[in-house]
Chain A
Amino acid sequence: MRKVLLAILLVASLLIFAGEITITAWTVGPDNPSFYRFDNLKAAAERLNKMFEDAGVDIRIKVEGFFDTTDWSEFKQRVLFGFQSKQKFDILCSGHDDLGAWARAGYLAQLDDLVKRYWDETYYDIIPSLWDSVKYKGKIYAIPQDTEARPFYINKIVLKKLGWSDEEIEALPEKIAKGEFTLEDFVSIAEEAVKKGYVSWGLYHRPKKGIDYFQIFTSFGADFYDEDSAKFVFNKEKMYKVYDFFYKITNVWKITPKSMIGTPWGSVHKDVTSGKVLAWMGGTWNWAEWKRDYGKTEEELEKMFLVAPFPKSRYGGRPNTLSHPVVYMIPAHSKYKELAFLLITLATAPELNMKHDVQSGHLPIRWQETVLPEYKKDFIMMEGTKILPYSGFIPNDADFDLFNTIIFEGIQWAESGKTPDKVIELVSSRLKNQLKDKVIIVEK
């Protein structure tokens, strides 16, 4: 089936091209282990070349470009200038949330037709919820490359010390997923564990700006985006609870260090893996990191952590996790859009994608991957996939990053001791100032 499709495409393209065609791909980690984002494209090119050879077609594809490991913002800056100056690149890899801005600016090629063309071949198999993450105003602008879940890691050893039985512990993820065990329940356990000196801290979250925090919003039922009007929402009443939570974990309950934001990553992971912390709002990719850089074995980790969605609050909201698929995009100015898409399609083969997942600790994007033996061997991948049904995404809005920046400023204020009332006022006025009519402020 595949070969037939290709042959058709080739015959058509033969008239236009001959010899070697270079496809340039700009890919990004920024984590080192994600290099398959680039290498899979190369592998796809090899496969394609093999087919060309077998079919006696005199075309070869060469993949050039880079795999960037600096950081998101620097990568995105460069991409932006690359778009504007129409640098030669045909495939672009980035977080799904960028496509809103870039599609709006007209930098990206729309992919609906191409997806349709290869639907039966490959794309029928993509985990359906992922399609939501690659659309802007209802149109597809990207192909998912991987996804991830942000599990709530809880230290089982500490739970045991607190007197939990093995059965109780085993049942906990389920209870969280059903909403029977709430965030407030967690807080009281954390306070107890800290008080008894079993751990230094109850809860760690990421020490930088990021999207993890939106899980807590969902836990409190604070919606932050209105799809219909494509505007951000800042519900003062709901957000009060969110900021109140951040305020209390560091200032009242003292289950999170006031210095959480700004602690070096290395120290965070050292504390989490050495059992100094009861729970960690992390990601599935941490597992691989802990094994590689923090001297933990698979057994030790499995013994230490249970994996659950982030609990809901007692006062509304739902248990959830946040996925942030990385996607392949095709610039509107690319000369070889179809060829590039073909490469992406080939790189989406289950076995290639699985290599990436195993190497970098991400989760599969296709059902077919879940039957592969590598998948079944991988504890965190299976556990992570279990919580995928609870996943949400951040909106593909052009101004999301600005919105996120301001929201995060509020979190820092709250944790550093500004009362939630004040924080709400500061954040809402700043949102108005910066986002103007792109934001709806819902007064109490």
Chain B
Amino acid sequence: MRLSFYQRNADKIRIFLFILIMFAITSPIILSYFWLILRSFSVDMKGFIPTQLTVKNWRFLWSEIKGYPNIWKTTLNTAFVAIMVMLFEVFMTSMGGYALSRFDFPGRTSMMKFILVLHAFPSVSLMVAIYYVLKYLNLLDNLWGIILLKASLETPWATWVMKGFYDGIPWEMEWAGLVDGYSRFQVWRKVILPLVKPGVAVTAVFAFLSGWSEFIFINTFIFSQEFWTLSKYVKATIGDFRFADYGLLSAVGVFYALPTIILFFFVSKYMIKLTIGGVKG
């Protein structure tokens, strides 16, 4: 039995080839982020070559820029919105997902279908209607309004995700808890919830992300500069592109994107557990 070089190393060659293909299709991402970071440290760019390096673009970190609120206050607002959206969403979906996964109640099926239908609604087209709701609740120009709104809009989809994670937990766990004398609520709280940690992590990350990058609602329903978040700050540096200071813009953009990327690294191991809606083979 004589094997050719290719037969012997087919595996290695294939892997090498795959890595090559991945590099090729990923290259726009790699190159553009590389450019973004480089751009934030340079006066101007000729293709990929900075004409002159500078840290001036990062001046917003240590000095106020005319017409803009303080960056740290803005960052704090952003974090506040993101964290609150995350908490609300995790709270609602970890309970809602459990109910949909584990309870039999009238209207369960229609509720799940309704959730999918809600997803068909472009949330921005609801803006005028949402405006009336916020006005009625006296939540205009108020970050809480944004938080509740954002969490509610994301919840239907996130509930599906959570349901998927709950579906993956063996019923024996539940039975054991009930046999041991706990109520359904206690079983959920003490037994099941710790087991869906990956699901909670995934939901939390996506919720945090959506809160962190929320722009349209903040731009429309927040009037005071003291409630600005980073998305608004970035948009302000862009303007309508005519007056964009690209250096500043890249720096603010990098500053804005960094926390989410760091957060993602911490939870990326949970991401591979993402399954939707009780997948059956």
Q: Is there a direct interface between A and B, measured as CB atoms under 8 Å apart in the complex?
A: yes
Q: Give A residues with C-beta under 8 Å from B.
A: 26, 29-33, 35, 38, 64-72, 74, 77-78, 81-82, 84-85, 87, 89, 208, 264-266, 289, 293
What 6 pairs between A and B have smallest CB-CB spacing? A71-B240, A66-B225, A67-B67, A69-B236, A31-B243, A30-B239
Q: Is the beta-carbon distance between B224 and A66 smaller than 8 angstroms?
A: yes
User: B246 on the interface (CB 8 Å rule)?
Assistant: yes
Residue among B66, B67, B140, B245 with most chain A CB within 10 A: B67
Name B220's contact: one of A26, A31, A81, A293 (CB within 8 Å).
A81
Q: How far is the CA of A264 from the CA of B224 in the complex (A)?
A: 30
Return chain A residues, CB-CB under 8 Å to B237.
Answer: 69
Q: Is the beta-carbon distance between A35 and B66 smaller than 8 angstroms?
A: yes
The number of residue pairs between A and B whose CB atoms lie closer than 8 Å in the complex comes to 78
Q: Is the beta-carbon distance between B235 and A70 smaller than 8 angstroms?
A: yes
27 contacts between A and B (CB under 8 A): A26-B223, A29-B239, A30-B239, A31-B243, A33-B243, A35-B66, A38-B67, A65-B225, A67-B66, A68-B236, A69-B236, A69-B239, A70-B232, A70-B236, A70-B239, A70-B240, A71-B240, A72-B240, A74-B219, A74-B220, A74-B235, A77-B220, A78-B223, A81-B131, A84-B131, A266-B244, A293-B245
A70-B232, A85-B135, A293-B245 known; A31+B239 contact, CB < 8 A:
yes
Return chain B residues, CB-CB under 8 Å to A87.
Answer: 140-141, 223
Q: How far is the CA of A85 from the CA of B140 in the complex (A)?
A: 8
User: B242 on the interface (CB 8 Å rule)?
Assistant: yes
Residue of B whose beta carbon sits closest to that of A87: B223
Q: How far is the CA of A81 from the CA of B235 in the complex (A)?
A: 19
Shortest distance from the beta carbon of A289 to any chain B beta carbon, whole Å: 7
Interface string of B220-236 (1 = CB under 8 A from A): 11011100000010011
Return chain A residues, CB-CB under 8 Å to B225.
Answer: 65-66
Q: Is the beta-carbon distance between B240 and A82 smaller than 8 angstroms?
A: no
Shortest distance from the beta carbon of B63 to any chain A beta carbon, whole Å: 15
Return chain A residues, CB-CB under 8 Å to B238.
Answer: 70
Q: Is the beta-carbon distance between B224 and A265 smaller than 8 angstroms?
A: no
Q: Is the beta-carbon distance between B245 and A70 smaller than 8 angstroms?
A: no
Residue of B whose beta carbon sits closest to that of A27: B67
Q: Is the beta-carbon distance between A29 and B67 smaller than 8 angstroms?
A: yes
Q: Give the number of residues in B that approach A within 8 Å (Cβ atoms).
A: 26
Residue of A whose beta carbon sits closest to that of B243: A31
Return chain B residues, CB-CB under 8 Å to A74.
Answer: 219-220, 235
Which B207-224 residues have C-beta < 8 A from chain A?
219-221, 223-224
Q: How far is the CA of A289 from the CA of B241 in the complex (A)?
A: 13
Shortest distance from the beta carbon of A386 to any chain B beta carbon, whole Å: 25
Q: Is the beta-carbon distance between B140 and A69 smaller than 8 angstroms?
A: no
Return chain B residues, CB-CB under 8 Å to A35.
Answer: 66-67
Q: How far is the CA of A67 from the CA of B243 in the complex (A)?
A: 15
Q: Is the beta-carbon distance between B140 and A30 smaller than 8 angstroms?
A: no
Residue of B whose beta carbon sits closest to that of A289: B243
Q: How far is the CA of A246 from the CA of B82 in the complex (A)?
A: 48
Q: Is the beta-carbon distance between B221 and A264 smaller than 8 angstroms?
A: no
Q: Is the beta-carbon distance between A82 and B223 smaller than 8 angstroms?
A: yes
Residue among A71, A72, A84, A208 with most chain B CB within 10 A: A71
Interface string of B118-146 (1 = CB under 8 A from A): 00000000000001000100001100000
Which B97-155 residues have C-beta < 8 A from chain A?
131, 135, 140-141
Return chain B residues, CB-CB under 8 Å to A30.
Answer: 239-240, 242-243
A32-B67, A70-B232, A74-B219 known; A265+B241 contact, CB < 8 A:
yes
Return chain B residues, CB-CB under 8 Å to A78.
Answer: 219-220, 223
Shortest distance from the beta carbon of B226 to any chain A beta carbon, whole Å: 9
Shortest distance from the beta carbon of B114 to any chain A beta carbon, whole Å: 29
Return chain B residues, CB-CB under 8 Å to A26.
Answer: 223
Shortest distance from the beta carbon of A347 to any chain B beta carbon, whole Å: 16
Residue of A whose beta carbon sits closest to that of B225: A66
Return chain A residues, CB-CB under 8 Å to B235.
Answer: 70, 74
Name B221's contact: one of A66, A71, A81 (CB within 8 Å).
A81
